Amino acid sequence: MSESSFDLQTWLQQHGVGAEQASGRLFCKWLPADQLERLQAEAEGLEALIPCAGALVVPRPLALGLAQGRALLVLDWLDLAGGDRDGWEGLGRGLAQLHRRSQELSAQPGLFGWHGDRWIGAGIQRGGWQRSWGTFFAQQRLADQFQRLEAHGVHFSQSERLLECLPQWLEQHQPDPCLVHGDLWPGNAGVLRDGRPCLYDPAVSYSDREVDLAMARMFGGLPEAFFEAYNDEWPLPAGAEQRLIAYNLFHLLNHANLFGGSYIDQSRRSVEALLRML
């Protein structure tokens, strides 16, 4: 779509964005029109995070809709930079504070989940509400991914055993529901040029807060200063290193469904490691 074929400022004004704001620097995210729901889920997640964000910068969804046969989400611009230790420490402290604050603001206290299915990248993240974290994670996260792989001919012989044992193991942990970013790999968090930490592109739910810390170790991982600062602000309980394997299995399975290849083997190894611990 060329600039000459689409007047973004006019479109923004038609969607309630003022002329002064529309003339500034903005971030525009395009997808095919039939994927508008993915952008709606992203906007909903950002709006959920903002009241809890505190010192963290979370971009506001400014306009969402269809434009010339495509889905369009317009957000505040984030002037990202590399970030120094102070910035990453700020992200760690800020995330811990966000997790705590979300418990106070929850409209569904004591419940894990989200109201309806949503997207995590191009994959589905199941919604619904459960009082049992172990049951929620086993059913709405892992079982759904195993079923999708089965439908594509990829069988995990030990998946049933894992799904039987995992809920009780996780229930021993007894976490409180926190609003989590949900897709916190290094590509979805950063530090702005002015030093403020930021989060974006979430897949939110009320979950064990450890799921954010677990994923932040994946795909290269966030700097260690982030984890140190989080733990100083709100220490993780014993057993977090073992639960990390379970929590990141969800992301490995999701990637196995989306991309196949080595993610299938990584998922199998994680299942085997978990069964040795249970």
Catalytic residue numbers? 183
Instruction: Provide the 8-state DSSP code for 57.
Output: B
Dmax over CA atoms of the chain, in Å, equals: 60
The amino acid present at 200, given as its one-letter code, is: Y
Residue 26 β-bridge partners: 76
CA distance 155 to 160: 11
Question: Residue with structure tokens 């014993």?
Answer: 238
Let me know: does 161 contact 90? Beta carbons within 8 Å: no
Token duo for residue 148: 């999708």
Burial class (CB in 10 A: 0-12, 13-18, 19+), 128: middle
Helices vs. strands in the chain: H and E counts, helices first:
11, 12
